[in-house]
């Protein structure tokens, strides 16, 4: 891992240095070209001033004088026009500091004619239409067999009345091209020094990161090997520390899950062992054949109750397993929730009377709500079973249904012993209530509230519990207007 860190960081540093070097060279080149253009444009304007001065008569520039300077045999040896032209070019050379200067004109045929270098105008390929319109033009050509280019500007002067010509001043300057081999040779030493420093920094950083991540990797291997007490040690305040803290949160949850699974298995074993022991004992008594008819009837009743208890426990375990794995069915349909729940809980009235518990049902008109009636009935049944189980004689169990935000709210209350405040956050855990409050009511699978929570959340709702010791408990369920849009998921 440290080697990968090292080479990765070194490669990134080398690439960054190379990119910086190349970009710097290109930007330098662009800056030189721009500066050159500004300079030769300024020189062209200065030469144009010299030309106007040389062609002026009584302070007025005339086309005739320009024609004498630029054409009509003015460059023939020994002529006065040639001498003036040579003197003009010498002055222009001094003004431009040695740049290449040429003079010319654009004739009526739209062709640029240069006096000193006729072929240069063709090589540069100036747009004469733009020059006639008064626009400066820049062109660049590479000199044959040289690592240089020629940057040139054509500066048009105002058209002169006589002859219909447009005088043009051309100034050119040599421009060194980028020699990449020379650039790379000049960068070798800085790049080597930067690479060495990057290697040292990368090695130090890779060791530091490797040591920090190594501890996290060790803890991960221990956790994967079954040691749920393994934890990473967060150091500092960065992403690696955040990763270590997240790992520890995950490890805590895994350890908590294992503890709860062990408690779950112990509770299941206890709930299975008790009825099985009872059934086994009575089966031996029946096998001995020494019981009278009344005793046999009593034993048959006990066996029936214990069998029902085992059946409920197995069914609840299977249902909860499907709920947690989301392997269940939701079939939402239009339901009159109030009427449906009132009918569902009415079957508990005879049982409540037998237990001498008052059953109070308060159902408001909810209208038609799209929900799953079977799952809704399961929620109400489990809450009613739980309430009746923990309500003493002369107590009261109540069920209420009210409309809420297009959906509905269901609450079940009882006047039982209540739940300790520290136990409220865990009442929906499997077997938790049954294990903690078995002394109050030993019956039940201990899975009813866990099933309720899973069903309510699957239907997009919420369930909460409030309790006061010695007064009773309230379970509140809120179901939205419509169940989730994933019916028939198995």
* Residue 65, CA distances (Å) to 57, 71, 356, 366 in order: 8, 10, 132, 107
Has residue 167 been placed in a domain? yes
Same domain? For 439 and 294 the reply is no
Strand order, beta sheet including 148-156: 112-114, 100-106, 166-176, 148-156, 137-142
Domain final residue pick, 290, 325, 360: 325
Q: How many other C-beta atoms can be found within 10 angstroms of the C-beta atom of residue 104?
A: 25
Same domain? For 246 and 97 the reply is no
Q: Could you give the number of structural domains in the chain?
A: 3
Three-class SS of residue 158? Answer: coil
H runs (alpha helix) in 148-179: none
- Contact call for residues 330 and 488 (beta carbons, < 8 A): yes
Domain final residue pick, 325, 346, 362: 325
Same domain? For 114 and 36 the reply is yes
Provide the CATH number for the domain around residue 143. 3.30.450
- In terms of Cβ atoms closer than 10 Å to its own Cβ (0-12, 13-18, 19+), residue 391 is buried
Same domain? For 146 and 157 the reply is yes
Tell which residue, 156, 152, 82, has the closest CA to residue 119.
152
Phi and psi, residue 166, nearest 5°: -115, 105
Measure CA 489 to chain center: 30
- Contact call for residues 427 and 433 (beta carbons, < 8 A): yes
State the pTM of this model: 0.46
Same domain? For 308 and 366 the reply is no
pLDDT tens per residue, the chain (490 residues)?
555 555 566 666 667 767 776 777 677 777 777 888 888 888 888 888 877 777 665 555 555 666 566 654 444 444 555 566 666 677 776 766 667 888 887 877 778 888 777 777 778 888 888 888 888 888 888 776 666 778 888 888 875 554 567 888 888 887 765 555 666 666 677 767 777 777 777 777 767 766 767 777 788 888 888 787 888 877 777 777 788 888 888 888 887 777 766 666 665 665 667 677 878 887 887 877 777 778 888 888 878 877 877 777 777 677 767 766 666 677 888 888 888 898 888 888 888 999 899 999 999 888 888 888 888 988 998 899 889 888 888 999 999 999 887 788 999 999 988 888 888 888 888 767 666 655 555 555 567 888 888 889 888 899 999 999 888 999 999 988 754 444 444 3
Its domain, for residue 301, covers 231-325
Same domain? For 336 and 317 the reply is no
């Amino acid at each position: 891992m440290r080697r990968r860190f090292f080479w990765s960081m070194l490669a990134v540093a080398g690439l960054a240095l190379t990119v910086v070097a190349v970009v710097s060279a290109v930007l330098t080149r662009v800056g030189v070209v721009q500066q050159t253009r500004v300079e030769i444009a300024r020189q062209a304007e200065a030469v144009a001033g010299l030309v106007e001065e040389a062609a002026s008569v009584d302070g007025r520039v005339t086309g005739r004088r320009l024609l004498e300077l630029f054409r009509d045999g003015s460059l023939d040896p020994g002529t006065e026009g040639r001498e003036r032209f040579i003197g003009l070019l010498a002055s222009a050379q001094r003004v431009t500091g040695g740049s290449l200067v040429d003079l010319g004109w654009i004739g009526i045929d739209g062709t640029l004619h240069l006096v000193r270098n006729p072929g240069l105008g063709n090589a540069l390929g100036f747009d004469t239409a733009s020059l006639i319109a008064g626009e400066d033009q820049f062109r660049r050509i590479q000199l044959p067999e040289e690592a240089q280019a020629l940057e040139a500007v054509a500066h048009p002067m105002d058209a002169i009345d006589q002859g219909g010509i447009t005088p043009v001043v051309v100034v050119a300057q040599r421009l060194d091209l980028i020699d990449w081999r020379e650039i790379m040779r000049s960068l070798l030493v800085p790049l080597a020094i930067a690479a060495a420093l990057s290697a040292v920094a990368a090695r130090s950083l890779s060791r530091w990161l490797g040591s920090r991540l190594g501890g996290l990797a060790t803890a991960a291997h221990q956790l994967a090997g079954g040691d749920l007490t393994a934890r990473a040690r967060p150091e500092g305040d960065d992403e690696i520390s955040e990763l270590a803290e997240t790992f520890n949160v995950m490890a805590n949850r895994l350890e908590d899950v294992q503890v709860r699974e062990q408690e779950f298995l112990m509770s299941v074993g206890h709930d299975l062992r008790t009825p099985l022991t009872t059934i086994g004992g009575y089966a031996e008594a029946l096998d001995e054949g020494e019981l009278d008819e009344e005793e046999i009837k009593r034993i048959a009743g006990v066996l029936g109750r214990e069998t029902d208890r085992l059946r409920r426990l197995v069914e609840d375990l299977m249902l909860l397993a499907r709920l947690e794995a989301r392997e269940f069915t939701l079939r939402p349909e239009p339901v009159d929730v109030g009427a449906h729940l009132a009918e569902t809980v009415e079957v508990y009235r005879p049982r409540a009377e037998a237990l001498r518990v008052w059953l109070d049902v308060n159902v408001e008109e909810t209208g038609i709500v799209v929900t799953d009636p079977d799952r809704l009935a399961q929620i109400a049944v489990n809450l009613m079973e739980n309430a009746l189980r923990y309500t003493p004689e002369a107590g009261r169990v109540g069920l209420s249904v009210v409309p809420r935000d297009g959906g509905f709210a269901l609450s079940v209350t009882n006047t039982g012993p209540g739940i300790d405040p520290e136990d409220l956050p865990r009442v929906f855990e499997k077997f938790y209530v049954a294990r903690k409050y078995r002394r109050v009511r030993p019956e039940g699978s201990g899975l009813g509230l866990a099933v309720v929570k899973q069903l309510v959340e699957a239907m997009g709702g919420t369930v909460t519990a409030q309790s006061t010791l010695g007064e009773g408990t309230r379970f509140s369920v809120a179901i939205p207007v419509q169940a989730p849009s994933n019916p028939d998921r198995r």
